[in-house]
Amino acid sequence: MMFVRIMHGLRRFTCGTGRFSRVWPLTPALSSQGRGGRSVVFASIAILLFVLMANTATAQAIDPLPFRDHAEELRFQHLTTELRCLVCQDEDLADSNADFARDLRHKVFELMQQGESDDQIKQYLVDRYSDFVLYDPPVNRRTWLLWFGPLLMLLAGGMVVVYTIRKRARAGTPAAPTENGDDW
């Protein structure tokens, strides 16, 4: 209804009002001003308003939860920043807008209301979604490669560089050409 009122007011603004206004065409008409005249302006503004209103319709509101006190709210915020959104994978539960993250936030809140501790809530989520739900997973046999894999890759890369330098030194070729003849 609001959109119809805006469009009606916009039509009156772009096409004029009163007894001397011309009839508002639904299709662009040829005039001395070129193709379309005011109806093209009206259509352009109408499309722009429609796009802007469609974007605002998709905006999501904050989902407030009824905390007992400020300490409980801080505990909830701290706990949801330690948990990963399984849909986004690079955001925590507190910052994610995914529907699944919202459901997990509600589950965390529900478990907090039942009197569960932070460790019990984390264990509940780990039992269902594995260690991946934690931003700081524990070091165990399943996460060993996650923790030490980057260091192993760095060491392997360093060994390749050292091997290549030593091989070139034995062959007598320089590591990089010093003069190729192309002077700028």
pLDDT per position as a tens digit, 51-74: 767 655 455 445 678 888 889 999
Give span(s): CATH 1.10.8.640, the chain. 70-133
In 10 A of CB 139, how many CB atoms? 10
* pLDDT above 60 for 7: no
Instruction: Domain 70-133: give its CATH architecture.
Output: Orthogonal Bundle (1.10)
**Category of 65 on φ-ψ map: left (φ > 0), alpha (ψ -120 to 50) or beta:** beta
Quote the pTM value: 0.51
Mean pLDDT of 130-159: 89
* pLDDT above 70 for 116: yes
Predicted local confidence at residue 135, as pLDDT: 82
Distance of CA 40 to the CA centre of its chain: 36
Selection from 130, 139, 50, 146 nearest residue 86 by Cα: 130
